[in-house]
């Protein structure tokens, strides 16, 4: 492990890591913010870290992420081995790295969701949700996607920070426009996933997906 101490002025930024670098930043004094920005410039402060608190590696596909000093700050940065191969046969270190990777993946998912709730309107939130569910749980069939979403309208509303009537109304609009077909209350067919993504212009970025299938999806 490598350690370094940084003195940051207010407004100074520290870049988030690449995939092959992990770090933990502990605040000795001052105040840090983990920030993210959408492609159109909308900025969201995800969380704050004060004296004695820490931030770990976190980034999200499609979002610009950074750590920013909101006040003059002193920060201790610890760089960790990138892979298990870097720590050899040390079982404890291997377990720690595995835990950090799992924690980082969960934090990045949470980061994207916080930005969704904080900076997207209802249309963009629902579009992002449908894109994510299709690629996470759905099946690609000749260019269209079939997905069964085991959530009630109330569940969707609680997840997206909306209300059930709004979800029902927006889904109805998507169906009338032919962007979503609904054989049942929980089963959906999306004829053109790109069209749903464009419905919420930033949905693809927030969902953190490329044009390929989500690792959990089925081609």
The closest alpha carbon to 100, from 114, 76, 80, belongs to: 80
Residue 10, number of CB atoms within 10 A of its CB = 12
CATH T-level assignment (fold) for domain 2-118: Jelly Rolls (2.60.120)
pLDDT tens-digit map of 88-130: 566 666 666 666 666 666 677 777 778 778 878 898 889 888 9
pLDDT tens-digit map of 14-51: 876 555 566 788 899 999 988 888 777 888 888 888 99
Enter the tokens of residue 48: 């704050």
- For the chain, give every domain's residue range: 2-118, 122-207
Tell me the percentage of the chain whose pLDDT exceeds 70.
72
This prediction has a pTM of 0.64
Enter the tokens of residue 173: 């609009």
Residue that the structure tokens 């979800």 belong to: 167
- φ, ψ at 77 (rounded to 5°): -110, 130
Q: What is the spatial distance between Cα 26 and Cα 30, in angstroms, rounded to a whole number?
A: 11
By mean pLDDT, which of 74-83, 85-94, 146-155, 210-219 is the weakest?
Answer: 210-219
Residue 201 in 3-state DSSP? coil
Alpha-helical regions (H) of the chain: 91-119, 122-137, 153-160, 164-176, 193-199, 203-207
Which distant-in-sequence residues (6+ apart) come within 8 Å of 141 by Cβ? none
Q: Could you tell me which CATH number the domain at 122-207 has?
A: 1.10.10.10
Domains 2-118 and 122-207 share a fold: no
């Amino acid at each position: 492990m490598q350690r370094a101490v940084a003195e940051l002025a207010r407004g100074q930024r520290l870049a988030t890591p690449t995939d092959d670098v992990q770090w933990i930043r502990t605040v000795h004094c001052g105040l840090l913010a983990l920030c993210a920005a959408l492609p159109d410039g909308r900025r969201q402060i995800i969380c704050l870290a004060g004296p004695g608190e820490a931030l770990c590696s976190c980034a999200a596909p499609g979002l610009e992420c950074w750590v920013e000093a909101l006040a003059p700050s002193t920060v201790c940065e610890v760089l960790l081995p990138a892979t298990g191969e870097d720590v050899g046969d040390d079982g404890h270190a291997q377990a720690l790295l595995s835990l950090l990777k799992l924690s980082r993946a969960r934090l990045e998912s949470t980061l994207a969701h916080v930005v969704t709730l904080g900076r997207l309107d209802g249309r963009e939130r629902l579009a992002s949700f449908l894109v994510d569910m299709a690629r996470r749980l759905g099946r690609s069939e000749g260019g269209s996607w079939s997905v069964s979403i085991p959530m009630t309208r109330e569940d969707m509303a609680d997840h997206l920070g909306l209300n059930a009537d709004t979800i029902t109304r927006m889904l109805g609009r998507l169906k009338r426009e032919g962007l979503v077909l609904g054989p049942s209350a929980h089963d959906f067919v999306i004829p053109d996933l790109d069209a749903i993504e464009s419905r919420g212009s930033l949905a693809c970025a927030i969902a953190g997906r490329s044009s390929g299938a989500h690792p959990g999806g089925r081609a």
